């Protein structure tokens, strides 16, 4: 049982090293590019959802009945 546990520990310790090696190999590859229209679309949707959330909060606060 102790051999199994030591093997598992060795594997768990070496896993980040394997990930780092893969990351180093991927860093040399050129990155993929995206059309600017998709960046703008993401920005519009992202900002729109934030604005919609605050409008929803404002609307629910405005329509809240006072507690008595």
67 is a domain residue: no
- Taking the mean position of all CA atoms in its chain, how far away is CA 41? 18
* Domain limits for position 19: 2-62
* 26 within a domain of the structure (yes/no): yes
Residue 38: inside a domain:
yes
Q: Is residue 11 part of a domain?
A: yes
13 falls within a domain: yes
For the segment 33-63, what is each residue's pLDDT rounded down to a tens digit? 889 999 999 999 999 999 999 999 999 998 8
Residue 53, pLDDT score: 98
Reported pTM: 0.50
Q: Give me the mean pLDDT over the 7-28 stretch.
A: 75
- Give the pLDDT of residue 67: 74
Assigned domain for 68 exists: no
15 lies in a domain? yes
Number of domains in the chain: 1
Report how far residue 64's alpha carbon sits from residue 67's, in angstroms, rounded to the nearest whole number.
Answer: 9
Domain assignment present for 10: yes
């Amino acid at each position: 049982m102790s051999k199994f546990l030591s093997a598992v520990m060795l594997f768990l310790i070496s896993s980040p090293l394997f990930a780092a090696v893969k990351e180093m190999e991927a860093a040399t590859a050129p990155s993929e590019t995206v059309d600017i229209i998709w960046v703008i679309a993401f920005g519009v949707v992202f900002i729109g959802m934030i604005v919609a959330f605050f409008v929803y909060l404002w609307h629910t606060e405005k329509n809240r009945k006072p507690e008595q």
